[in-house]
Chains A and B, each alone.
Chain A
């Protein structure tokens, strides 16, 4: 095999590999427009049970196997959580979040992102996780200044019982 032919073969292989290397990190992908930020609404929270726990009668307790006797009976299923999010006075999200799990006894969860222009924004988030049908159990308002590409997270901490902005 002539050296010239070998050189030609090498050049073709190297050119193909160079093209592969070039596409391994280019062209650059931009997920959101320049000058925008992301507001993320995400939390995992269990609402109240669908019904209150009920005290069992002595007869009902007697009927249970001795090793499974308990005083109260609590239904597994949980209520859905109702959530609203306003950005700049505009409603961008409202949903009734169903509980997870086949029996509907898991927590409700939300993971939503909103692309907004960088700058000042009035944020209001509200949640209802009890049997009430009017009003809200948790609510937080605030004005935040978002820088370009900032990830602003709205979370809910059940241990504090309130929304967290970070």
Chain B
């Protein structure tokens, strides 16, 4: 059941992400920047909130008037800030909702990723707490409605002695202290939200907390444009002698409020409890069965820290050397954080298939799919190739290449050490190598595509040697919906290498003497594009 829902959602996301990726490119695609945009909107809300606070009056009589002054007389600065404050807060809800659905659709919430998923739950509560307390402060008709329904909901809980809602049904019961309390809440809850946002990304290496500048600039400009087009306005002064029965609801923050009329307050609480329980338990429904965690082999680890640098999940840290070898540090893998993606295997300089040791070993390896097995599968796959233009495919299990017959399938294409590409071409196992990974803006293991690109471009350790002809290496990044594109890209690549002169690779010994500078400009390797 859950798998079917996930599959349907994934289909939907992959369907809409492709046009987004075409228009925005992988870097600026908003769907790949949801978390970063969430942070960005938080900062917009914070800055605009501080600005508005300078004009806001917490007096019971003055609160509404001060907001009106902001919106009407000072519309060109404070009014715009109010709209930014409102719409950025609404967009945070949108970003969090889509982010949550996307993580679920791509199955990026189970296993060791449970922590980020689980800490997202209090973020939802705190975000709604922040928004709802903000609506009280305006003290207009909507605030009256929000105040009454919120307090009726709270009164349903067996916590308060007297019904809080009684404070909002007649005049003379509220004082200015109430607004001071609400201002305090409206500042304290977001601060706590920020703290939980920090906890949320603790277990992620290189979290995206800032969108690319171009996307941020366009977002801010668009938000200002929308604020001028449709300024956020109040809905008339509170009148406690009249029921606030007709209000323009913010459907992002208050969608459950109308349900109190049909479900009752208890029904809404049951729904909220069930929703929270379901979200909290989802990482274990069912638990993810994954391969065993990576293991460090100290005999082959020189403490270079490349695995630690490349791990997308902070699963590897460098610790003091424990085996007496003359290196200051050694890698230490945490099984509770490791997703067995194999990126560390691809990053280890010891992961070279050219090694002549009797049994191929490397500094860090996957027990269930080690480097030796990878080399064997590569050789086996190459043996099955025939014809004049043989292309060996390394395919990610989560991308469009996962159905390619005869490919070497990997949990992540970044598990492929660059030296393995060299090995395939220099040992004449194939005439070209194609790497088929996930869609560029939806890398299952977060950084696998980036690291693969940089290694091939000799911009990141371990480099692909300069002697390896880049025109014989192609990359194609595609979602699982784009299997045809992968097939077409590989076919086009076969055609391209047919036009290339016969390859001549120097021996590894000669090549090492001619090793080039690390920042050699990368050759365009995107399959389907002009070489």
Contacts and interface: CB of A to CB of B under 8 A. Distances in A.
A28 to B, nearest CB: 5
B249 interface: yes
Nearest to B83: A21
B226 A32 contact: no
B515 interface: no
Contact of A20 (B28, B252, B258): B252
B166 interface: yes
Contacts of A151: 169, 240-243
Given A42-B166, A44-B166, 6 more contacts: A21-B226, A24-B86, A24-B232, A25-B142, A44-B163, A149-B246
- Most chain B CB within a 10 A radius of its CB, from A9, A22, A107, A109: A9
Interface of A: 1, 5-6, 8-10, 12-14, 17-18, 20-32, 37-38, 40, 42, 44, 100-101, 106-107, 109, 111, 149-151, 153, 155, 166
Contact of A100 (B161, B223, B252): B161
5 contacts: A1-B25, A6-B218, A21-B230, A150-B241, A153-B170
Interface residue SS majority, chain A? mixed
Nearest to A31: B245
Contact of B218 (A10, A18, A28, A111): A10
Contacts of B248: 25-29
Contacts of B30: 13
A36 to B, nearest CB: 8
Interface stretch (B87-95, B341-349, B417-425): B87-95
Contacts of A5: 23
Contacts of B163: 42, 44, 109, 111
Contacts of B242: 149-151
Given A24-B232, A42-B166, A107-B162, A31 B226 contact: no
Contacts of B91: 17, 20
Nearest to A30: B246
Nearest to B20: A12
Contact of A150 (B87, B221, B243): B243
Nearest to A155: B170
Contact of A38 (B94, B243, B251, B252): B243
Q: Please classify how large the interface on chain B is, using the bins under 10, 10 to 19, 20 to 34, 35 or more.
A: 35 or more
Interface string B202-245: 00000000000010001101110111011010010000111111
B385 to A, nearest CB: 39
Interface of B: 23-25, 28, 30, 83, 86-87, 90-91, 94, 142, 145, 152, 155, 161-163, 165-166, 169-170, 214, 218-219, 221-223, 225-227, 229-230, 232, 235, 240-252, 257-258, 261
Nearest to A8: B23
A155 B170 CA distance: 10
B246 A20 contact: no
Nearest to A111: B163
Contacts of B161: 100-101, 106-107
Contacts of A21: 83, 87, 90, 226-227, 229-230
B164 to A, nearest CB: 10
A106 to B, nearest CB: 6
Contact of B87 (A17, A27, A37): A17
Given A9-B24, A17-B91, A40-B169, A28 B247 contact: yes
A31 B261 contact: yes
Given A23-B251, A111-B152, A18 B245 contact: no
Contact of A17 (B223, B244, B245, B246): B223
A29 B246 CA distance: 6
Nearest to B221: A10
A103 B90 CA distance: 45
Contact of B258 (A8, A13, A29, A42): A29
- Most chain A CB within a 10 A radius of its CB, from B91, B169, B221: B169
A9 B23 contact: yes
A21 B251 CA distance: 10
Contacts of A27: 248-249
B162 A44 contact: yes
B226 A28 contact: no
Given A8-B23, A166-B170, A18 B230 contact: yes
A70 to B, nearest CB: 26
Contacts of B28: 9
Contacts of B145: 31
A10 to B, nearest CB: 5
A26 B90 CA distance: 13
A13 B24 CA distance: 10
Given A22-B230, A40-B169, A106-B161, A14 B225 contact: yes
B245 A12 contact: no
Contacts of B162: 44, 107, 109
Contacts of A42: 163, 165-166, 169
Contacts of B257: 29
Contact of A31 (B87, B232, B246, B251): B246
B226 A14 contact: yes
Contacts of A31: 145, 243-247, 258, 261
A138 to B, nearest CB: 18
B219 A13 contact: yes
Nearest to A44: B162
The 6 lowest CB-CB distance pairs between A and B, nearest first, are: A25-B248, A14-B222, A31-B245, A151-B243, A13-B222, A111-B163
